[in-house]
Chains A and B, each alone.
Chain A
Amino acid sequence: MDVLFDNLDLYGPGFLTTIELFALAAVGSLILGTILAMLRVSPVPVLRAGGTTYVTLFRNTPLTLIFFFFAFAFPLLKIVQIDFFVSAVVALTLYTSAFVCEVVRSGINTVPVGQAEAGRAIGLTFGQILASIVLPQATRSVVPPMVSTMIALIKNTTIASGFSVVEAGAIQSYLSERGYSVMIGLLWVALGFVILVIPMTLLQRSLEKRWSVAR
């Protein structure tokens, strides 16, 4: 307990930075991921190929490598000067977008084509079909896996600690400087993440049960 209460000045800002990183990267990757998914389901072959290439490259690259690139190699290219926090958000966004894209795309694909065809047959416009037939069903199947993706994102923010963004994962190095037990300190960090993640897991479970489409 002492380790936690004596170092609240570390844990507080640490977890706050974690949540900031998570929030910014979540918004960014939801936007970019949705755009990528739109590219991947579009009727234009060039756009589809572009989306597919992006997803293939980023899904199969370790996130650590993307952080590595932004921490060490990106400054050499002298495009823009960005600090560690911004590059951490960018790295997390670029990586998570590929997963968000796949979730959105597979969600759209779970809606049978016949549904939209029936909509067209009764004379609904494209917008109406999207708003009242396809999207409601897609959302139902998308939200639970999207929550898992977001859980993965919040855990992935810890990798930033290895690249000098002060957040919850970096607490251990400060603790050892102050002479506190790193082991106990990291247990508190682990507990903090369990507290952050468990509610999201419960939300995901309940959504999965409540929203599963009976087909």
Chain B
Amino acid sequence: MSSVLFDSPGPKARIRHRIYGAAGLLAFAALIGFIVLRFADEGQFDGKLWSWLQYETVQLELLSALGNTLRAFAAGAVLALVFGAIFAAGRLSDHAIFRVPSTVIVEFFRAVPLVVMIFFFHFGISLGAPFYSVVLGLTLYNGSVLAEVFRAGVLSLPSGQGEAAYAIGMRKTQVMQTVLLPQALRAMLPAIISQLVVLLKDTALGFLITYEELLRYARFLGGIAEFGRPLVPITIVVAAMYIVMCLALTGLAKYLEGRNRRNKKAPIPDKKPDDVVLANEPMN
């Protein structure tokens, strides 16, 4: 294997690499071993602490908490996409009346921490059910980021695309709708889905304002004495659930990216792919 940093290894280097590999393996094993030992010493693997998994009520409640997480995600995702589309159009507008306010709004909501926004809606103006505050916060923040993604997508297209459309007499709206947007959406689909992963993770902030989502339920279950306060086991289970959900979304993004690359009709952005990827590394 040859990369920028390393030449293909010769016989000496191969031996050295094997030694590094063994040392690394030992270090990782020691780290994991220490953690497992700690868990075992404190009795985190005791059957009692995992017994809650067998109860049907607990399983159903866990599922309903997962449902709440997904509900906030779905509502937030749809609204954020709409918000992003509107404000990307605003930022790309030729009229300063639309462009300037859109820019200010997008920059503002990108700069304010999501927690502060959610607290503002929940404690500040008391929107009522925590669900609304969570979804509104997710929409405004991720919508603003998505607006930037859409805009970058349109701007990354070869300029000839728009020029050709203008040349055959299309108006700006037509150029956008029939030429630029379809291509930009396709090129940006992986970036959009990566942002949705961020949105999914951010639903966990609902925990802070007592929205009954996965973490809230984990906190509740972790305090039940009857199960031996299984905080560590439930944290592990909930973490696994988040990781699986996010990996599924990431997998979808990778699949779409691969399909885009194979498809000859897919637009070729003006910039090199790596630059585009770097520019669109989602804000976590």
Contact = CB atoms under 8 A, between A and B. Distances in A.
B28 A183 contact: no
Interface residue range, chain A: 35 or more
Interface stretch (A4-12, A81-89, A113-121): A113-121
Contact of B42 (A42, A64, A77, A109): A77
Contacts of B215: 62, 64-65, 68
B232 A186 contact: no
Interface residues of B, number: 67
B81 interface: no
Interface stretch (B113-121, B252-260, B261-269): B113-121
Contact of B232 (A50, A76, A141, A197): A76
Interface string B14-49: 000100111011001000000000110010100000
A23 interface: no
Interface string A96-126: 1001001100111111110111001000000
A27 interface: no
B278 A106 contact: yes
B21 A45 contact: yes
Contact of B125 (A47, A155, A183): A183
B3 A172 contact: no
Interface stretch (B84-92, B168-176, B181-189, B203-211): B203-211
B8 to A, nearest CB: 9
Contact of A186 (B7, B119, B283): B119
B162 interface: no
A215 B117 CA distance: 41
Interface string B231-272: 110010011001100110010000000000000000000001
A65 B281 contact: no
Closest 8 CB pairs of A and B: A62-B204, A183-B124, A60-B246, A162-B208, A155-B113, A64-B204, A158-B115, A197-B111
21 contacts: A47-B21, A64-B208, A65-B238, A68-B207, A76-B42, A77-B42, A95-B284, A96-B284, A106-B274, A113-B2, A120-B7, A148-B281, A149-B284, A155-B114, A159-B208, A172-B124, A186-B119, A187-B120, A193-B113, A194-B111, A198-B111
